Structure 1
């Protein structure tokens, strides 16, 4: 074997997955077709759940000073994310996707991921016991073998097509332009601002740049192999707004559409998909990169345990079981948002009704939880505790080694059994899993009436931050540990 896992694609999903696998000690090779990063940044921040994920791996400090905002939108209609009541309820803005990718690349490589740029997958075969991959490289073709192959290679995924994954859904019905421009005096226009004939958006960036998005209704989608010309973009802007911006200088240009497709299965034998390779959609609310990162975090520890021989039976299949419904809801909500801010005057009555509904806190809380990713809940065994299946909230803790937090405990990407009642019997029951689960005895720091863990004496947290068991519960801790982390001593 050349590696235990080969990851195809060095975007957010592939780099996050590589880092997760390396934290678990798995040998990983990342194959990236491009010789250098493009520097393009469709995304300009990330949502609350991705903020939590990065914080749980100790990555936020690598991004420097970040700005967190509680203001979001659903289809261009303002939504107050502070209603979620979480320490991480807001999203991060002003961090270009290229910066996020550079941070993830540095982290993954520091951990030992073997990133090979200029390497393109030509073909591969799942041989049952391993996957053999033919790769085009600067030094000529070569073959690599690995136990598993993961396609994180975007919406036009070579891995998805070559492996024969079903990819049902709908194609784009329109084309939109995105450009970062300098040398133009363009007044800010909020997302979702409709004009006769389409939708436009403009917002200032750093270094005198302005980001614009142009959607001209009735423009049929084109299958492009090159970005649109500045003449196309500036002409569309002029037709919709009456403003001539042709004298500006674009830094980069892009075209995108409103497809809605998702694979029917995230795994076929030894080949898996994550991120845009598994689902494509209208980039409404910047959810694409965030869902991709969260796919990788869900998959990483499960694939690592499978490769190392510690996984319980069927653990790897739960990647599809848990993430496919998330992808399905992603397509649903981005399609709904597209109808709201890309349709014409005929949709104004629905916008008005939605504005009235969003004024109710319960509606805003529901939409904010959906778009942010904070409301994602997995079916993780018997029990009715309100935290079961949700992500563990950020809670400050006082332990034997001083002050810590539920977030800091997840930095190593291991399981955590948090003993909040100084229960010696619980710690003894968990001892056989010490090679993969950290047992921590602590008390919650802060006022009792603000303690989200007040109703439990212990919680078992998976490496991806989701709560797999609480005490008291209908099953003993050993059974819960075995269900998530396999039999003790297995390898």
Structure 2
């Protein structure tokens, strides 16, 4: 029987990102994927088009994968173009809430006190093929094994190990992580409780030939008295929302006649679909597991939470899960994790997932085609059109509002670290690519150096003057980019050591297999 530190089930973006994090930390990792081959029309443009939030782009940047991602996505912008600016630029785009477009010019930059110029300040439009190709290549470089055509059928776990069965093969691991999507086999086999709200609509995505496209509105998002429909960038790429209580079951066949009838109903037109090339249905069912860990089995991405695609938060939420879990699970595998570290994965990420589910539910509530919901929609549109409202929406959509409760009153602790830069040009992003934590010391006497050296296998120490310290003397940053501790211009060495011990374990414990 083959044995691994971690078996990941699912080779989508979340499973592959997590595999890269674990591989970077020197873990023996196997990824099992049900589909026999990578790539499909549902993962390439236009059906596989996805938007990565600024927070997700930042995750790729901090692991040295931003340029490959932009190249694979066909994005030709230079992410380093504005790095010499003294002030951060406003976002180029914000997105929408329930089809209400937000104006990036209305974002109040002054309300984002920790925003510094960075290559990862904006979201990126990409597709699943591009994301997975970049992550698959990096995973292979890190020694991760990816076995396709392996559908998981059984899981058995005890206090010491987990055995996963896929086909006729069994794989032993110390840990298993289900990243296998909304209909997760791992979630079902391991007995996770999955709770939430039932759907209000059936959604459809289709790529079709339209005999009379001029019949439909040219607008991208169209709310009607009977539902909603979206005209995407590609010709014939249509999205629909039919508020039928989620009555259309995914097991039913999607015929041209059914899709045409729904499109006619929600558009209020006599439009004709002459051919349907690809089509799929979904609902706005919003569900979440009550915990992300059962013994030695963990969940991430859609395996842990599902919701409607409104606002495009699903992929970004999953990447955040992987970034948060990876270093914690690696520390546990190698034996230097402080007690309870792995439990902070659920504690930190479950509330974020719950907020995204509510963000999705709120959009459904204002898109219903009834008079009460439309009245609410008018009020929400007015509020989001204000400077404060747009800034609020930007914080939510970009992920910049995320802050973990790490028990500190310091305003920066718990937030993603800003792109602090030393005077010699070294950026924070240059220091995070090996997956270790980072200690930045801007104080003149480098008083933290001796302390940080005790964790040198887990914390990278760097000292010097900076272009903008934001009034800080030193900062301790976790491997996922979250600020764990921040000191003033005369940083407290003992406070630093307490924070380092809390997140990185005892300096006397050396990694068992690095």
What SS class does the counterpart of residue 472 from structure 2 fall into?
Answer: coil
CA contact (8 A) 1:198 1:344 kept: no
Q: Does 1:430 align with 2:455?
A: no
Could you say if the C-alpha distance between residues 442 and 70 of structure 1 is closer, same or farther in structure 2, counting changes exceeding 3 Å? farther
State the distance in 1 between where 2:147 and 2:138 align: 15
TM-score, length-scaled by structure 1: 0.91
Q: Does 1:459 align with 2:475?
A: yes
Counterpart pick for 2:133 among 102, 107, 113: 102
Q: How many residue pairs were aligned? A: 471
Divergent runs of 4+, >6 A = none
CA contact (8 A) 2:208 2:274 kept: no
State the distance in 2 between where 1:343 and 1:74 align: 16
CA contact (8 A) 2:203 2:240 kept: yes
State the distance in 1 between where 2:356 and 2:178 align: 19
Shift of 1:240: 3.0
* Aligned residue runs from structure 1 range 248-259, under 5 A: 248-250=275-277, 252-259=278-285
Could you say if the C-alpha distance between residues 48 and 243 of structure 1 is closer, same or farther in structure 2, counting changes exceeding 3 Å? farther
State the distance in 1 between where 2:169 and 2:227 align: 49
What SS class does the counterpart of residue 159 from structure 1 fall into?
Answer: helix
CA contact (8 A) 2:21 2:435 kept: yes
In structure 1, the partner of 2:402 is 376
CA contact (8 A) 1:189 1:203 kept: no
State the distance in 1 between where 2:246 and 2:302 align: 23
Shift of 1:246: 1.3
* Aligned residue runs from structure 1 range 310-459, under 5 A: 310-382=336-408, 384-399=409-424, 403-445=425-467, 451=468, 453-459=469-475
What SS class does the counterpart of residue 464 from structure 2 fall into?
Answer: strand
In structure 2, the partner of 1:295 is 321
Structure 2 unmatched runs, 5+: 78-90, 110-114
Could you say if the C-alpha distance between residues 153 and 81 of structure 1 is closer, same or farther in structure 2, counting changes exceeding 3 Å? farther
In structure 1, the partner of 2:16 is 15
Could you say if the C-alpha distance between residues 346 and 385 of structure 1 is closer, same or farther in structure 2, counting changes exceeding 3 Å? same
What SS class does the counterpart of residue 412 from structure 1 fall into?
Answer: coil
State the distance in 2 between where 1:343 and 1:422 align: 62
Q: Does 1:228 align with 2:254?
A: yes
Q: Does 1:62 align with 2:94?
A: no
State the distance in 2 between where 1:84 and 1:47 align: 18
Shift of 1:74: 1.1
CA contact (8 A) 1:152 1:273 kept: yes
Moved more, 58-67 or 436-445: 58-67
State the distance in 1 between where 2:218 and 2:30 align: 43
Could you say if the C-alpha distance between residues 437 and 158 of structure 1 is closer, same or farther in structure 2, counting changes exceeding 3 Å? same
State the distance in 2 between where 1:304 and 1:15 align: 15
CA contact (8 A) 2:368 2:374 kept: no
State the distance in 1 between where 2:275 and 2:240 align: 15
Counterpart pick for 1:40 among 36, 42, 63: 42
In structure 2, the partner of 1:448 is none
CA contact (8 A) 1:70 1:89 kept: no
1:437-486 alpha-carbon deviations (Å, 9 max, x no partner): 100113323xxxxx3x3211110111111100011367521111111100
Q: Does 1:90 align with 2:109?
A: no
State the distance in 2 between where 1:161 and 1:215 align: 28
Could you say if the C-alpha distance between residues 183 and 398 of structure 1 is closer, same or farther in structure 2, counting changes exceeding 3 Å? farther
Counterpart pick for 2:301 among 249, 253, 275: 275
What SS class does the counterpart of residue 312 from structure 2 fall into?
Answer: helix
In structure 2, the partner of 1:74 is 97
Counterpart pick for 1:173 among 200, 207, 231: 200
State the distance in 2 between where 1:273 and 1:464 align: 18
CA contact (8 A) 1:235 1:246 kept: no
Counterpart pick for 1:164 among 185, 191, 203: 191
CA contact (8 A) 1:230 1:253 kept: no
State the distance in 2 between where 1:25 and 1:210 align: 46
CA contact (8 A) 2:94 2:397 kept: no
In structure 2, the partner of 1:118 is 149
State the distance in 2 between where 1:311 and 1:40 align: 39
What SS class does the counterpart of residue 416 from structure 2 fall into?
Answer: coil
Could you say if the C-alpha distance between residues 385 and 236 of structure 1 is closer, same or farther in structure 2, counting changes exceeding 3 Å? same
State the distance in 2 between where 1:291 and 1:227 align: 30
State the distance in 1 between where 2:337 and 2:108 align: 34
State the distance in 1 between where 2:256 and 2:133 align: 27
In structure 2, the partner of 1:487 is 506
CA contact (8 A) 1:148 1:271 kept: yes
CA contact (8 A) 2:229 2:240 kept: yes
Moved more, 433-442 or 390-399: 390-399
Moved more, 97-106 or 154-163: 97-106
In structure 2, the partner of 1:24 is 25
CA contact (8 A) 2:94 2:398 kept: no
Moved more, 273-282 or 80-89: 80-89
State the distance in 2 between where 1:394 and 1:352 align: 38
TM-score, length-scaled by structure 2: 0.87
In structure 2, the partner of 1:215 is 241
State the distance in 1 between where 2:158 and 2:245 align: 45
State the distance in 2 between where 1:97 and 1:43 align: 7
In structure 1, the partner of 2:226 is 197
CA contact (8 A) 1:33 1:117 kept: yes
What SS class does the counterpart of residue 396 from structure 1 fall into?
Answer: coil
